[in-house]
Every structure is written in C-alpha cells, then in structure tokens.
Amino acid sequence: MPLSTRWWAGRNKKESGRAPLFHELREEIPRFRKQGELPARDSGSFSKYFCDLCNSPVTIQELRQCSICGRWGCPDCWTPEYYICNSCHGILKMHLLRSRDEPETGPGGSE
C-alpha cells in the first residue's frame, strides 16, 4: 500500500488563512539568483568568488546561499540562526516585530 502524502495538505496555512512567514518573505523579496546558481567569480584569482552582500573575495567553501533571496554570503554577512543572509534577516526582523505588535484574533475573526 503506497504512503499517502495528503497528510501535509493544509499545513502550509495558519489558522487565520495566511501563509507562513517564510512564504511571505519569499513572495516579498525578489530573487537575486536561483538556488544552485554559482556566485560571481573573482577574476584576480582562480579559487575565489565574490560575496553578494559585501563584495569581498572568499573561497566557495566559505560562502552560503540564502534560502530566500539566493544571494551568496560570506560568514560576516550571514545569520546562522535562520540560515539566511543579513539582508533578508533585516526584513525578517521587521516582520517579526510587526507580527508581535499586531493584536491576536480569535477563531471567529473578530478582535
């Protein structure tokens, strides 16, 4: 008997009908490059690439690709807590502050 994958249906939405924060960020922030697309290569050396945020040349092993915008970031331009670049982290913090300040609504939708 094959496993059913329908168990996850509806788990992408919160009770209020809104998409989770990650999906909201992906819709709001424009894609810089596709996942897996290589960063810009440093023409001065054969083994280094440029960080998309600070433009410093680093080895490919030091770069990480942001899961939201696709930018490649060096360790100085990276937020390990959410595995996103510092640029997306700033927008995430604004969303978290805004959602913290919004009043909670009950299941009926009234405040």
Write the DSSP assignment of 41-80 as a string of letters.
BPTT-SSEEE-TTT--EEEGGG-EE-TTT--EE-GGGEET
The answer to whether residues 67 and 83 touch, using CB atoms and an 8 Å cutoff, is yes
The answer to whether residues 68 and 25 touch, using CB atoms and an 8 Å cutoff, is yes
The CA-based angle 109-90-27, given to 5 degrees, is: 55
Question: Between 2 and 69, where is the model more confident?
Answer: 69
**pLDDT at residue 105 in the model:** 59
Helices (H) and strands (E) counted in the chain, each on its own, are 2, 6
pLDDT digits (tens, 9 = 90+) for 77-94: 999 888 899 999 998 998
pLDDT, mean of residues 38-59: 92
Separation between Cα atoms, residue 77 and residue 79, nearest integer Å: 7
Question: Between 1 and 57, where is the model more confident?
Answer: 57
pTM above 0.75, yes or no: no
- Banded model confidence at residue 28, pLDDT cuts 50, 70, 90: confident
Which CATH number is 20-99 given? Answer: 3.30.40
Q: What is the residue extent of each domain of the chain?
A: 20-99
pLDDT digits (tens, 9 = 90+) for 96-110: 888 777 766 555 555
